[in-house]
Structure 1
Amino acid sequence: MKRIVILGAGESGAGAAVLAKSKGFDTFVSDMSLIKSHYKELLDNQNIAWEEGQHTEELILSADEIIKSPGIPNDAPIILKLKAKGTPIISEIEFAGRYTNAKMICITGSNGKTTTTSLIYHIFKSAGVNVGLAGNIGKSLALQVATEKHDYYIIELSSFQLDNMYNFKADIAVLMNITPDHLDRYDHNMQNYIDAKFRIAQNQTPEDAFIFWNDDPIIKCQLDKHGIHAHLYPFSAMKENDAIAYVDDNEVIINEPIAFNMEQEKLALTGTHNLYNSLAAGISANLAGITKEHIRKALSDFKGVEHRLEKVARVRGIDFINDSKATNVNSCWYALQSMTTKAILIIGGKDKGNDYTEIEDLVKEKCSGLVYLGLHNEKLHDFFDHLGLPVSDVQSMKDAVDASYQMAKKGETVLLSPCCASFDLFKSYEDRGDQFKKYVCDL
């Protein structure tokens, strides 16, 4: 019997284990951290062996194939030993794709992928399509393949997930943008990160679709290098020669495969970055044959994504916005660009090799103060202090909320848009955003 070992027992790992067990594999799960109780219960119910707080090498190195959590770096000691043995290492998405004939709509990008994925899912669900949401959001694709069986899956893919995908194919691939991110995981080599993102189009044929932002300079110059075989569907904010979707005279227009239009002001999501998200989602739904009426309705009544420019409260004339999902500089750039008032920016966390030059001018223009939230704020001081803005150093979310509240004037906005990963002080960006909302509501 083929032995499959799953490294990491979070959402993807536990789901992969259930699918592996259901297909008759000798299945074992190992996690260096403690496993959450509901995942333990899921594994126990399926009679799947597991361990936590360690990686027992003799149980792992005996595997015929490894399914790796995307959070485990490729240079982790156990991974290096497996590579030395030549053991195949794949992602949960790669594994799940072997056991379903469902259509796959896959979304990646440095920014906007969660909103775009959620919006596409909303359109499909509203239209009555039998659809699942998976990848970085929703339930594990593997668990859904094992227990639910959908006709379509809308899948948000990080570069880490794409790294360990080889034969999986997206019927519709969406690449929103590419800006520097996670460079600490890619040897601080931007090309390595770019190559990971373009893996979303690998294995595509001329019958498949590749949707991308036409104005992204990196995507444009890398298209030929990566030899995309799918039909190209470029979108842009404005009408251009190549773009098949754009805005013209306040009308959202999609020309292929079926002509579609709607008034821009009726889009539920506002701001330039959300226009791109809406265009990509509209093209995806159009390609899948969803009616114009369903697309228009869903684009106009979508409620947005938690932790992404989420309005929390107005306290004594000061607005508080939770953009905890902004874990890179470009994402913070979009948030600052959308500000219509002066802002106190809460920034900081686990730096991933960030270059803050991209937001320097917007910080000068939009910010009236900065709150540095992190265990190590030296890089922020070195880069931003010369701007002469009031600055506060904090190491807890309560202190960040209190400091920004004291710094802000009536009519201004407090914006949590950290540019960084959350793991120095928080469990996740969701934990960081939830704490922000709690302490704002406590004011």
Structure 2
Amino acid sequence: MAKNSSPLSNKTVVILGLTKSTAQLARTLQQKGATVKVSEANPKDNVLEAARELSALKPEPETEFGKNSPAFFEGAHQVVVADGIRADTPPLPELAAKGIPVAGETEILLREVDIPIIAVAGTGGKTTVALLLKAMFDTAGRKAVYVGDMGESLAGFVASGASPEYLILELSSERLENLRGFRPQISVLTSMQPPFPDRYTSPEEFQAVMRNMIRNLDEKCAIIYNFRDANLKNLVLGNPAPKWVYRRKDPALLGPEIARIYKGSFLVNQREMVWTDTKDRELYDVRDFRPFGLHNKDNLMAALNVAKLAGLHRDAIQQTIRNFDPVPHRLEFVKKKGGVRIVNDSRATGIHTLRVALEAFPLDPVILIAGGRDAQSDFTQLTDVVKGRVKTLILVGEAKEHINRCLGDHTETYLVGTFEEAVLMSYQKSREGDVILLAPGCESYDMFVSYEERGNYFKKYVDEI
């Protein structure tokens, strides 16, 4: 449960960075008896909504805007850094040199939690794995709380004083950056494939951030990871926690010794999945699992491994497999019209996720809608999959000219001016048996405030066809 008492009671805590999340954190810390101050480098008008939430607190925290002055932090017993702010941001190094404790927002909140944590991290699949786990626990009648992109906030959970059996915690790399004392009972690593977030200057820097997930594990913990991912294999190498893996083929293909010691799950074929712990073996029917693509089978295997470690019954897991709805904007089936399936994968914001989306339809001609914010990504990496899978490519947004230069010679390609025009043209070009797929391969910020808004407009325009 979330702890009732706090080591920060009667202490002064200064938060660096004002967001809606840290405003909620300030409320939680006040409830725990701390005196809270907030320093924000941006002008107040830039963070007005969060500032309003902060000003509603009683007593209202002392604030400064437009700067992070070292004098404001004098007398602090603890400095808390908002998720997403790097540890080398001034004046954090100066404060740390003075011996003032500095910790990330997520770390401070996790210190208030004393229940087992199932942590999920990686470059893809985190939300689906977390939601699958939440559904499995719910179906089994076991209490778990999901904190993440589509769940409750961590500050809200801590403030609630709830007492679930497990906390399912989805962690972005930004949240992992400033975690030092983290020790989840179960760590799930879904993938570690480029392109990595732009904030990291090298793959090694990103790997160091991901290592914060598992640096404090011991033999009483567990790591679950994708056996196909060489980067994850290197990351977990030498870690003392027991390993449970998942892969798309029978481990017997790797030899009898691997098959004998294999612990985890694997696909037998497109209809069946197996979980084994070297002694027991359970078979699951996955024919009715609705999310598209082999990558979603990977997500299911990761969740299956966790569920078995947590002692969930086979029947509850099988029922979840049959009933689980795909996550919005992640290969989300929208409708079927005129024999054409229409799928929304607005969350595919990079080259790797665009490839994964296309590979989800190995037998169907795809009419692909792509484009968005131009990051000058190397779309020539997709030449093979576009040649093999894409019947028609419709490009829109800031990146359309760049993507056309990379891929336009490899399939029928059209450049259009508006997102609505892209959707209408996709249906005009389609024939029975085709798949219309929104998988932009780009961020949404040239035309929309988020990938969610882009996906919602896509569904709106599809409904109007």
Q: What amino acid does structure 2 have at the position aligned with 1:153?
A: L
What is aligned with 1:271?
293
Pick from 141, 146, 164 the counterpart of residue 128 of structure 1: 141
The 5 A counterparts of 1:190-339 are: 190-224=203-237, 227-240=238-251, 241=258, 242=262, 244-248=264-268, 250-256=271-277, 259-339=281-361
Alignment partner of 1:342 is 2:365: yes
Deviation at 1:357, TM superposition (A): 4.3
In the aligned structure 1, how far is the partner of 2:102 from the partner of 2:149? 19
CA distance in 2, matches of 1:316, 1:71: 45
Residues in 2 aligned to 1:384 and 1:70: alpha-carbon distance in whole angstroms: 37
Structure 2 unaligned blocks of 5 or more: 1-10, 252-257
Gap change, CA 1:229 and 1:331, over 3 Å in 2: same
> What displacement does 1:133 show?
0.9
Structure 1 residue 235: Cα displacement: 1.1
**Cross-structure match for 2:35:** 26
Q: Return the TM-score normalized by structure 2.
A: 0.84
Change (3 A) 1:23 1:219: same
Residue 404 of structure 2 contacts residue 413 of structure 2 at CA under 8 Å; is this kept in 1? no
C-alpha root-mean-square deviation of aligned residues, in Å?
2.8
Asked whether 1:427 is paired with 2:449, we answer: yes
- Give yes or no for contact 2:268–2:274 (8 Å, CA) kept in 1: yes
SS in 2 for 1:200: coil
Larger radius of gyration: 2
Cα distance, 1:389–1:29 mapped onto 2, change above 3 Å:
farther
Give the drift of 1:292.
1.8
Cα distance in 2 for partners of 1:435, 1:301 equals 26
CA separation in 1, counterparts of 2:58 and 2:380? 51
Asked if 2 retains the 8 angstrom alpha-carbon contact of 1:341 and 1:366, the reply is yes
Normalising by structure 1, report the TM-score: 0.88
Look up the SS of the partner of 1:80 in the other structure.
coil
2:185 to 162, 171, 178: 171
- Structure 1 match to 2:154: 141
Shift of 1:81: 3.1
Change (3 A) 1:441 1:176: same
Q: Which amino acid aligns with 2:402?
A: K
CA gap of 1:46–1:237, structure 2 versus 1, over 3 A, is farther
Residue in structure 2 matched with residue 4 of structure 1 by the alignment: 14
Contact 1:104 1:172 in 2 (8 A): yes
In the other structure, the counterpart of 1:49 is: 61
Q: Work out whether 1:16 is the aligned partner of 2:25.
A: yes
Contact 2:400 2:415 in 1 (8 A): no
Aligned length: 434
Residue 67 of structure 1 aligns to a residue whose secondary structure is strand
Change (3 A) 1:440 1:209: same
Does the C-alpha gap of structure 1 residues 148 and 237 become closer, same or farther in structure 2, counting only changes over 3 Å? same
Aligned AA (2:80): I
Unaligned runs of 5+ in 1: none
Distance 1:70 1:436 in 2: 31
Which of these residues, 176, 188, 191, is aligned with residue 162 of structure 1? 176
Moved more, 379-388 or 166-175: 379-388
Q: Is the 8 A contact 1:324 1:417 kept in 2?
A: yes
Mapped contact 1:16–1:67 kept (Cα < 8 A): no
Specify the alignment match of 1:184 in structure 2: 198
Q: Which moved more, 1:374-383 or 1:326-335?
A: 374-383
Do the aligned residues in 2 keep the contact of 1:397 with 1:439 (CA within 8 Å)?
Answer: no
Q: Deviations over 1:189-231 (max 9, x none)?
A: 122222322322121111101000111122223432xx31211
Q: Verify the 8 A CA contact 1:6 1:66 in the aligned structure 2.
A: yes
Q: Which moved more, 1:261-270 or 1:158-167?
A: 261-270
Judge conservation of contact 1:92–1:141 (CA < 8 Å) in 2.
Answer: no
